[in-house]
Amino acid sequence: MEFKLRGTNLVGIELIVNSVSLPVEELKGFLKEKKELLRGSRLVISLINCSLKVEDVKEVVEFFKTIDGICFCGFKTNIQRNREVCSALGIPCDMIHEPEGSKKVEKHREVQVIRGTLRSGDRIVFPGDIIIMGDVNPGAEIEAGGSVYVMGSLRGTVKAGVGKNDGEVRAMFFQAPRLEVCGKELTFDRTEKFVNFRVRIKDGKFIINPKQGSGTNGG
């Protein structure tokens, strides 16, 4: 079962499930694996042509109570019956404005998902959020108007929040000499390594998690 993550302008992170029924155990395993990367995020689960059962919704909601740091914001669906199930349980559920049976996912959000590793010489430029379902190797470049999420190792060059006042960069593993967020540069010693890395801009200043390391603000 393949799950897809993407950033959104309104929610934070969207987990897309395209399946006939909700694979609860696989979903729980995936979230456990990615929980540190998703920590601090607002998360919504989008269901494409997937029918919900009352017991599945209850199990997912209870599971999120055991994960610290992830704010579960409910479901999105293209099936009206799913919304009725969630409403009866008091769980938020918005409609995806695609007819039932459609295999299309919303396309109005500025999000680009790259399924694979970026290698030296690769360059991605996009006005919204970028999610890399792989590594970003040295010599690869990313430039995003929104935030950048790397589900593997980030060792290349990233510019996030270009022309914006807020943005963030997240990576499962991070080891790069520099990155730029909202026009501000942060540099690192080449020996520094981070796990479950997150950097964002708040009140014009960098906030880095985890806090170890000697990253410096280049202004």
Tokens of 134: 């792989």
pLDDT value of position 206: 83
Backbone angles phi and psi of 75, in degrees to 5: -115, 160
Identify whether residues 119 and 192 lie together within a single domain.
Answer: yes
Within 8 A by CB and 6+ apart from 191, the residues are none
Task: Please tell me the total count of domains within the chain.
Answer: 2
Give yes or no for residue 107 having a pLDDT over 60.
no
Identify whether residues 90 and 12 lie together within a single domain.
Answer: yes
pLDDT value of position 1: 59
- CATH number of the domain at 12, please: 3.30.750
Give yes or no for residue 53 having a pLDDT over 80.
yes
pLDDT value of position 104: 39
pLDDT value of position 124: 93
- Whether 157 is in a domain gets the answer yes
- Whether 47 is in a domain gets the answer yes
pLDDT value of position 160: 93
Identify whether residues 205 and 115 lie together within a single domain.
Answer: yes
- Whether 106 is in a domain gets the answer no
Identify whether residues 79 and 138 lie together within a single domain.
Answer: no
- Whether 103 is in a domain gets the answer no
pLDDT value of position 106: 37
Identify whether residues 160 and 68 lie together within a single domain.
Answer: no
- DSSP per-residue letters across 25-53: HHHHHHHHHHHHHHTT-EEEEEEES-B--
Pairing of β 148-154 and β 157-160: unpaired
Which domain covers residue 148, as residue numbers? 111-217
Identify whether residues 12 and 49 lie together within a single domain.
Answer: yes
Across 76-80, 107-111, 167-171, 190-194, least confident range: 107-111
What is the dihedral sign for C-alpha 139, 216, 185, 136? positive
